[in-house]
């Protein structure tokens, strides 16, 4: 979705200035300043570079020791994932995305169920819920059984699609993905990435950490390279070779 409140303006939906995070003597993040533009931003870097730490701060799971997060240009301090989500920052992880024991439709709503009043009481509107769930699922164009089914019966790729459908349905401003395809097979990865590419084409702000460098070069609109807690390069994927990317990652560039 293009931000109609700021036509052509350069205020990024999500940004940070001077983020630092220490774990004992380890600087997991060291004075990181970033801005995320509409489209797909890929974040790459060696193990321990600080990628997950950065996403956790943006998603409210970790609190930075220094620095500020900005949403639509306004400084925000998230105390929990719930607060970040309320601000439109949705994060998806392979494992924690869905509640196993609940149906697909229940997972899409999770506390935001449509309700109606019956004799003055608030009652969940099951029919509206299924209708809206089906609509949300149709937007991610992935083969999906009935939304009444339990999530337990879904494959990894289908689960990811449900989580994405949920983020989109509730109008997430930004979607953060930390190695979302790590446990998916090739077909599921391809289907998932086409959903992500669709979102990016609609000018959604999507941020994805990944270790598959050729995939990142092919699919991302923007690339950030992290090393030792810092963002060491901001690259245009079309103008970058695999060799250049790995040189930045290991510090020989």
Ligand X SMILES: Nc1ncnc2c1ncn2[C@@H]1O[C@H](COP(=O)(O)OP(=O)(O)OP(=O)(O)O)[C@@H](O)[C@H]1O
Q: Which residues bind ligand X (CB under 6 A)?
A: 23, 26, 28, 45, 47-53
- Check residue 246 for interaction with Mg ion (CB under 5 A): no
Tokens 């109008």 correspond to 171
Nearest 10 degrees: Cα torsion 37, 41, 46, 52: 80
Closest distance of CB 178 from ligand X, Å? 7
Contacts for 198 with CB less than 8 Å, ≥ 6 apart = 141
Query: By CB under 5 A, what part of segment 50-79 binds Mg ion?
Result: 52
Q: Which is nearer to ligand X, 48 or 150 (CB)?
A: 48
Q: How far apart are CA 15 and CA 67, in angstroms?
A: 11
Closest distance of CB 230 from ligand X, Å? 11
Chain residue whose CB lies nearest Mg ion: 52
- Check residue 30 for interaction with Mg ion (CB under 5 A): no
Q: Which stretch binds Mg ion (CB under 5 A): 48-56, 68-76, 188-196, 245-253?
A: 48-56
Query: What is the three-class DSSP state of 138?
Result: helix
Q: Which is nearer to ligand X, 13 or 227 (CB)?
A: 227
Closest distance of CB 249 from ligand X, Å? 11
Residue 226 near residue 220 (C-beta atoms within 8 A): no
Closest distance of CB 5 from ligand X, Å? 33
Among residues 157, 162, 160, the alpha carbon closest in space to that of 138 is found at 162
Among residues 140, 142, 162, 141, the alpha carbon closest in space to that of 151 is found at 162
Which of Mg ion, ligand X, none does residue 45 bind (CB under 5 to 8 Å by kind)? ligand X
Query: By CB under 5 A, what part of segment 9-28 binds Mg ion?
Result: none
């Amino acid at each position: 979705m293009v931000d109609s409140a700021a036509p052509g303006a350069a205020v990024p939906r999500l940004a940070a200035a001077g983020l630092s995070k220490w774990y004992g003597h380890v600087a997991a993040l060291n004075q990181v300043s970033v801005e995320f533009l509409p489209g797909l931003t890929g974040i790459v870097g060696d193990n321990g570079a600080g990628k997950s730490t950065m996403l956790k701060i943006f998603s409210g799971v970790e609190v930075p020791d220094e620095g500020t997060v900005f949403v639509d240009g306004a400084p925000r301090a998230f105390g929990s994932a719930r607060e970040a989500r309320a601000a439109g920052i949705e994060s998806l992880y392979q494992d924690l995305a869905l509640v196993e024991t609940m149906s697909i439709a229940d997972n899409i709503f999770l506390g935001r169920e449509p309700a109606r009043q019956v004799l003055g009481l608030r009652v969940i509107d099951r029919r509206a819920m299924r209708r809206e769930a089906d609509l949300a699922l149709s937007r991610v164009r992935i083969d999906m059984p009935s939304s009444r089914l339990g999530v337990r019966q879904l494959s990894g790729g289908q689960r990811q699609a449900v989580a994405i459908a949920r983020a989109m349905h509730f109008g997430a401003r930004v979607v953060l993905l930390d190695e979302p395809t790590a446990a998916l097979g090739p077909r599921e990865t391809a289907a998932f990435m086409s959903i992500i590419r669709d979102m990016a084409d609609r000018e959604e702000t999507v941020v994805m950490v990944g270790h598959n460098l050729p995939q990142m070069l092919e699919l991302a609109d923007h690339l950030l390279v992290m090393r030792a807690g810092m963002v060491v390069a901001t690259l245009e994927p079309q103008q970058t070779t695999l060799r250049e990317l790995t040189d930045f990652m290991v510090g020989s560039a």
